[in-house]
Structures are given as structure tokens and as C-alpha cells.
Structure 1
Amino acid sequence: MHRRQWGPWLFAVLVSAALATVGHAAFTAKVLDPGVFLKYLFSPMVLEGALNSLLLGTTALFLAAAVGLVVALMRVSGNPILTAFSSTYVYLFRGTPMLIQLIFWFNAFPIMFPQLHIAIPFTGWVLLDAPMTSVITPHIAALVGLSLAEGAYMAEIIRGGFLAVDNGQRDAARAIGMRHSVVMRQVVIPQAARIIVPAAGNQYILLLKSTSLASAIGYLELLRISTDIYAANFHVVELLAVAGFWYLVMTAFATVLQTTLEKFFPHR
């Protein structure tokens, strides 16, 4: 005879009661006007902000993956200089808040390089000559900041994937004459991808939500547009609910993409 487990049932009742209390308070206070919510849910401005957030987060992920791959290869290279440089990069960019990094790059680039001058040597041809303030737009600063910050996390994810591949396979590949680059490309990376993809999918979701930080430097992403709208009409809760809805949609998109990629790299 099985003993009835009362603990989970008691916890379920408490959670249900808490949710019911919050729901009743929200309904009684009429904290959200459904009409206003539906009015702005598919507003062109809101949709533009959601698209900007999706494009920014996706582009930053690809750049961060490229940066993370290079940094991870540096950390496992065995070269003390490359290892020290990559370790310092990871420490700095993981150890400081992403918001500080975005504001820093947005303000630091124009100070460090007031004029961007790109020319072909010995030809006199100028490819670009413009003040840095016109080059480092909020979009560029957000893209650089998010990519470099996320690159530190991706570097550790990729390095963890590399280390999870048994050293015996590397030794066997070298024993039959494979070069180090071929071993990494044909032996290590395909197996490491099984570990990297799920973790990278989680980072993609976090990165999509972190695009909201770009509102601090004036980039017109989803949260910035939502705050601009409710600053004018004072429907704060409704606009935040609209923004939350589209972040959930982006999270669902990232989850589907992650699940699809995991099918190409099964764990077994």
C-alpha cells in the first residue's frame, strides 16, 4: 500500500491560493484595460520595436558566437599569452553589468576616436571619413556592447564543449596524421556541438531579453518604444503587458529554433 504524499498537494494548494489572490486583486483594481492592451498589441510602432529587438538579439548572438569561438580556441591553445588575454577578456566582460558596457561603448568610442578615417595605404583613396558620433549610433553601440558581453559567456560555453570531448579521440586522430586544425574541425567541434547548442539556446533567450537594456542609450527597441508611448498616455501597465507579450513570442521563437537545432545534434 502506497502512503499518500500530502506535501506536494499542500504546496499546490498554497500556490493556487496565492495566484488566485493576485488575480483577484488585479481584477478588482482593474490594473489592466483590455481595450488599451489590444489597441497597442499590433501597433506599427510596437511591432517595429519588437522586430528591432529580434534583429538586434539575433545579430548579436551570431557575432558573440564568432567571438566566443575565437576566445575559446585561445583559452585551450596552450599558449600562455593567448590564454592570459582570453581569460582576462572573459573575466572583465562577465564581471561587469551589461548595461554599464552598453553605456560605456556608446560614450567612449567618440571620445577615444573623435574622427573615423579609413583609407587604402599608398593610394590616397579614402573609404570613410566621418565623425565618430555619426558612426556610433545607438544601434551600433548596442550591437557592439551586447556582442562583446555575450561573447564572454559563449566562450565559456564553447570551451566547456571542447573539454567534454575525450582526449583519447584527439590523440587517436593525431596518431593517424591529422593536423590540429583538422582534429578540431572534424572530431572535436561536431561532438562539442551537442553540448554547446542547448546552452547557446538559453543564452539566445537571455540575449533577446537583454536587448531591452539598449533603451538606456536611445535605441528604439521594444521596451524603449513602449515606455515612450506610456509616457504620453500614462497607460503604464497595459504597455508593459504588450512588451511582455512580444518578449514571450520571441522566447517561443528561440525555443522552437533551439529544439530544431538539437535534433541535428542529438545527445546520443
Structure 2
Amino acid sequence: MASPRDINQRFLRPAHLPWVELRSTQQSRQAYKRHQHAGLSIGAIVDGETCCVCDGQEYRLRYGDIIVIPPQVAHSCNPVASQPRSYHMLFLDASWCLAQFAPAASQLTIAQPVIRDATLFAHYLEIVAMMAAPPSPMLASRLQALFQALPLIPSVPLPVHRASRQLGDHLLENLQRPLALEALAKTFALRKETLIRLFRQDTGLTPGAFLNIARIEYAKSRLRAGEDIADVGYQSGFADQSHFHKTFVSYTAATPRQYARGRSISDNN
């Protein structure tokens, strides 16, 4: 399998629209670990096939398919039979998405995440082309029109166990030095195994995976801000650069340097 360094992929971030990011990846066999995003993810397959497991359901995606993954939904999208595939991923900030509803929603869900609609697919590709070109005043309205065409459902968050919520908060607030699970379980008068089971039931992730994803999401925010990769790895809670690099690749299928080099479309280069 080719190294992520050899894969043709780029990240585009409109300087005037900080709530959107585009990832375009060509002919990649790189797989992802199960993960989640803080924002809304909208993917489009432009070559090959992808097997996506989203919220416990498996979907086979091919050219022309769009998949919509709400914020905080655990998923993975991996190649079929190790064959290469090409795809685009739009990431929209959760706060912006929720504010599009009146009154503003607190959570988004979707009954059928896979959309097979030629008109919507063409609209999506138009946005991809606009983001790769010099800044357009029409980009924001085209993105909003795409969002409004998606069958998203505003909803109320499902109740979660108190221990899961507090464990998640602790991990997010202590990326560098979280307490051991044994110690945290004792504070809830639970066995460690019970705490892990409850957390996975509520989030779709183990505490270890949740912590790694939180670290990677924090690292991405610092890399977008232009901070040095070595400093970002330490700030995100990784003991060394090798661990940071390996974990970043396993959850993003890109290297920290590839992500950091993603350009603003205001750069025009």
C-alpha cells in the first residue's frame, strides 16, 4: 500500500468562509479507523467503490453517490477489496449547520445517509470546482443551497448516561494527561469494563478511540492556525512525533504535513 505521502490529496479552506473545508483525494487505498467529526460531513465518490459503516449500518458507495454523516456520528469509509477510490469530503461547521434551522436545532439526524441524485451530485461537483478556483461570491449561497437540499432532520439529543457524559468531558478537557480509566470508574462506583461498555453504547466509540479523535481534532485546529507540527503533536497529548504521525494517519488517512499544507482559496496558488 502506498504511503499517505504519495497519495494525491489536498485540503482547501476558504478564508472568507471559515465554516467549510474541502478534502479531495485521488486513487487512495488508505483506510481509516472508526472516527467521528464535530461538524457535518458530506462525501461524494468520483471513482471506485467505498464501504462506509455509519451509525452501525454498512453502505456500498460508488460513482455518483453522496453520503451525509451528521456531527458526532461514528463511522468509517474504507476501500473495497483494497482497490483505489477517489472522493471529495465537505466538512461544515456544526454551529453553522444548526443555525440554518428556525428555531436553531440542537442536533441533526438523517434517516437515509446515502443519496443517489444526479442533480445534487452535479451541484456538489460545481462546489468542488468553485473551491478550487479563485474566490467566488457565489460559493456561500451554493453551499447553503446544497445544505438545504439534504434530508437532514433537526432533533433533540438522545439521553446519555451521566458517567459517559462526564468521562467525555474529562477527556476533552485533559488531552495531555487524562486520568486512568480505573480511577475514573471508581468515581462513578463502576467497574472499568462497565464504564467502557456504557461509553461505547452512548458514543459508538471506546474511551481510547474518543481520546485519540479529540487529540487529532485539536491538532487539526492548531495546524490550520499555522502552528509548528512538532509543537502541535505535544500540545495534543502525544508523547513523541512518531506516535502523533501514526495516529494522525490512522484517523485521517493523511499526514500532519499534508493537512497543514492545505491552502486557503484566497491564496490563488
Tell me which interval the TM-score lies in, with the shorter structure as reference length: under 0.3
Q: Give the structure-1-normalised TM-score.
A: 0.25
Structure whose CA Rg is larger? 1
Structure with greater strand percent: 2
Q: Give the structure-2-normalised TM-score.
A: 0.25
